[in-house]
Amino acid sequence: MKNQEILDRVIEAQKGFVYEKKVDVDGYQIWHCHKPGTRAYSFEIAITREGVCVKGDIDTISWSRRTGLDFLAGRDVDYYIYSKLDGIYQDKVEVDEEAVDRFLAEEMVRWLWDEWDTINKIEEIPWKEYDIVPLDDLVAFYEDQNIDQLWECSAWELYRETRDLDTTDVHRAYEIFYSNTEDPDAYITVPEWGVMFSMYMACYAARKIKEMEDGSV
């Protein structure tokens, strides 16, 4: 799920929300974010001198550094705010199925061009070397051509091994990729959905609180 889709889910989830300050003492604040009459998606933002914690009917996340509402209300959620998240939550990742398929497609197209002189059964490759090609189209092309040398294409073997991968099979995904490819920088994981959803929920709430307090966002 793309992050814009997560934001859309957050906006929908927080319709009718109220943001209540429960504690405000000596630099410590606790905000209760909820929809009256239900606990669904309700959560609290606890701000201390040592960091911020978000906890409730969403995944718990925290930042162990001096931050606050201004930080959470920032717009650079995907990079800056995420980069400051405590490591235990940054370590929570899942297999990025789109990235896996994109990597395999790029490798398959590259292999076709690299092996051009040795594959006599193909009269014409319908793509340029660095075209972005849907993986399903490439697979159909490979199968239609009945290429004898397919066993030499590591991406083809990877394709066969990754069709039953689940987004939670992170360790297996790494084992498959790094035992079949020389590319150590293949980005095949993304932050766990629950972590991103909680972060977007907290940041969206922080912006609403800032608007409520001083209209600064």
One domain, residues 118 and 187: yes
Question: What is the pLDDT of the chain when averaged over all its residues?
Answer: 84
Q: Of the candidates 22, 30, 34, which has an alpha carbon nearest to the alpha carbon of residue 52?
A: 30
Place of tokens 């201004």: 70
One domain, residues 155 and 185: yes
What does the angle CA 191 – CA 195 – CA 197 come to, to the nearest 5 degrees? 110
Exposed/middle/buried for residue 12 (C-beta within 10 Å: 0-12, 13-18, 19+): exposed
One domain, residues 61 and 108: no
Confidence of residue 46 (pLDDT cuts 50, 70, 90): very high
- Identify the domain containing residue 181 by its residue range: 95-191
One domain, residues 13 and 26: yes
Task: Read off the tokens for 10.
Answer: 């957050």
Sequential DSSP letters for 18-47: EEEEEEEETTEEEEEEEETTEEEEEEEEEE
One domain, residues 41 and 103: no
Confidence (pLDDT) at 200: 98
Asked if pLDDT for residue 186 goes beyond 80, the answer is: no
One domain, residues 187 and 206: no
Confidence (pLDDT) at 13: 97
One domain, residues 86 and 108: no
One domain, residues 79 and 111: no
Instruction: List, for residues 66-125, the tens digit of each pLDDT value.
Output: 788 999 999 899 999 999 999 999 999 998 888 888 888 887 777 777 765 455 555 566
Task: Please tell me the number of Cα atoms within 13 Å of 37 on its side-chain side.
Answer: 3
Asked if pLDDT for residue 34 goes beyond 90, the answer is: yes
Instruction: List, for residues 150-172, the tens digit of each pLDDT value.
Output: 666 777 778 888 888 888 888 88
SS3 62: strand
Confidence (pLDDT) at 176: 78
Q: Of the candidates 60, 44, 31, 9, which has an alpha carbon nearest to the alpha carbon of residue 209?
A: 31
Asked if pLDDT for residue 6 goes beyond 70, the answer is: yes
If one counts the domains in the chain, the total is 2
One domain, residues 169 and 197: no
The alpha helices in the chain, defined as continuous H runs, are 3-13, 69-72, 82-83, 87-90, 97-114, 135-145, 154-162, 170-180, 193-213
> Phi/psi at 136 (nearest 5 deg)?
-60, -35
One domain, residues 21 and 107: no
One domain, residues 164 and 203: no
Confidence (pLDDT) at 135: 81
Confidence of residue 185 (pLDDT cuts 50, 70, 90): low
One domain, residues 152 and 207: no
Distance from the Cα of residue 86 to its chain's centroid? 16
